[in-house]
Amino acid sequence: MNVVVVILDTQRQDYLCCYGNERIQTPHIDAFAGRCTRFTEAYPETLATINVRRALFTGRRVYPSRDWRPLPWYMCQSPGWEPIRDDEDTLAENLAAAGYHTGFVTDTIPYFSPGFNFRRGFDQWEFVRGKQHDAWKSPFAVPPELLAQYGLCQEDLARIRTDYSVYYLGYHLANICWERDESDTCTARTFQWATDFVTDNQRAQPFYLVVDSFAPHEPWHAPQKYYSMYGQPYHGKRSACIHYGAFADSGLTEQGLQFLMDNYCGLVTLVDTWFGKLIDRLDELKLLDNTAVILISDHGTNFRDNPRDITGKPEYSMYPGLMKLPLLVSLPGGAGAGQVCEQRVYNTDVPATVYDLAGVGDHQPIDGRSLKPKITGRGDNSEWPYVTCRLGHSFCYIDEEIWVLTGIDGEPQDLFDRAADPLCRKSIDVTRDDPRFQRAWQRILADAGGDLPDYRDVDQTDNLGFKLKANIPPVVK
């Protein structure tokens, strides 16, 4: 069968209507969910952006990010953030070898870093320029009135190589100020390429298509049509990005944060609109009769809904808003339509599922398990007894009973009782010797092969020279 995998960036599970959010307008994803099995306990095995893509493209765990080697031209220096390794094969390569026509489109700029080579195995591919701080358009051409809305003037651009906020905002504004309507957005151009791919290749079956949308990742600037679905006119100083850390340190007002969140919601609905166009085209061409479609996010983000009042996704913030992934799987013939699966699954289970659906084997062992038995009720449908995840130098452990956050030295940060506190809002004070924490810590070590690679002595600066930060704020009482 044909297979289409859609990856969204920073899409929170609970910011989709089909997962219970009544404020969010996602009619196309909701309609799609009606023909899917909806997974409620899907988690990443390592974070962030590129780490997740490595797992999704290979089916192998990146955790615990062993043998990581930072290189100067990568846009982020964090353990596991590196290319697919030369000795690893990819899902696309193996499907292409089995006769699949393969396509890949994305506006996610970390893919663009020199030497990353995630295009391996794809016959057709497209990098859509202009998202985030992609140096595509010139910030020196941004109109002064647009700069002023974000508290900048043209003289500030002289600091573009020394001030991260100027660099980020300057290129972001340069990339959006030429847009005339929503079809010019990176999101629209990404999904339009995908829609054209299925049209052009309807006779080239079977095909495998990966659509990777950077939205709704920040910077959060939704077209006015979509912002107005959620927000009121805002006349304060604008920000395009959320602070990674405690809200008290953000410099944002409550109104400024709400402005950002309303833009985030607008981008979720923008993605929904253009995802709907892709599904509609598959339907019009009667390709859904022989096409599996999988929708997943890499991670979410935090909106103060945690005991430390954190916004964004600093490494110590692996709370449900960041960790719980939307995962929708639609199979031809309606198998599993309308089902809800509450078993724990990893994102590495997605490539394992694609291998299973395509009837193609991998040349190397993979770490995921096919989701097909959970959908069809046939075969081994056992769940992962627990999940572990690494982000920077922090670790997360989740099982049926507890949710644990800790650092690389094995000191407890947060422990939550999942039965009493399913949203993880009240951290329990525990010592390192607490049996619950010890269970989590021993499994974190076991999954890592007995020890955790420690890169704290590595100079972790991004490729612009801006130093990374990881200070854990106290629990808000």
Q: What is the CATH number of the domain that holds 100?
A: 3.40.720.10
Q: Please state the domain count of the chain.
A: 1
Per-block mean pLDDT, blocks of 10 residues, the chain (477 long)? 98 98 97 98 97 97 93 80 93 96 97 91 98 94 95 94 91 94 97 98 95 97 97 92 95 95 98 98 97 98 97 97 98 95 98 96 88 93 95 97 97 98 97 97 98 84 48 73
Q: What pLDDT was estimated at residue 381?
A: 86
Q: What pLDDT was estimated at residue 470?
A: 54
Q: What pLDDT was estimated at residue 471?
A: 62
Q: Is residue 107 one of the residues assigned to a domain?
A: yes
59 neighbors 352 (Cβ within 8 angstroms): yes
For 163, 169, 200, the CA distances from 236, given in Å and listed in that order, are 22, 16, 46
0.85 exceeded by the pTM?
yes
Q: Are strands 291-297 and 325-330 parallel, antiparallel or unpaired?
A: antiparallel
Q: Is residue 40 one of the residues assigned to a domain?
A: yes
Q: Is residue 427 one of the residues assigned to a domain?
A: no
Q: Is residue 350 one of the residues assigned to a domain?
A: yes
Taking the C-alpha atoms of residue 178 and residue 169, their distance in angstroms, rounded to an integer, is 15
Q: What pLDDT was estimated at residue 468?
A: 47
Q: What pLDDT was estimated at residue 467?
A: 47
Residue 359: its H or E element: none
Residue 327: its H or E element: strand 325-330
Q: What pLDDT was estimated at residue 465?
A: 45
452 neighbors 440 (Cβ within 8 angstroms): no
User: Taking the CB of residue 234, how many other CB atoms lie within 10 A of it?
Assistant: 16
Q: Is residue 414 one of the residues assigned to a domain?
A: no
DSSP 384: P
- Enumerate the β-bridge partners of residue 210: 5, 104
Write out the residue range of the structural domain in which residue 119 sits.
Answer: 2-137+178-382
Instruction: Kindly give the residue spans of alpha helices, DSSP state H, lying in 287-388.
Output: 320-323, 349-358, 372-376
Q: Is residue 145 one of the residues assigned to a domain?
A: no
Q: Is residue 391 one of the residues assigned to a domain?
A: no
Q: Is residue 9 one of the residues assigned to a domain?
A: yes
| CA neighbor of 265 nearest in space, from 219, 227, 298, 237 | 227
DSSP 38: E
Q: Are strands 46-47 and 386-391 parallel, antiparallel or unpaired?
A: parallel
Taking the C-alpha atoms of residue 355 and residue 120, their distance in angstroms, rounded to an integer, is 17
Q: What pLDDT was estimated at residue 475?
A: 82
DSSP 18: G
Q: What pLDDT was estimated at residue 285?
A: 97
The helix/strand/coil state of 81 is coil
Taking the C-alpha atoms of residue 59 and residue 369, their distance in angstroms, rounded to an integer, is 9
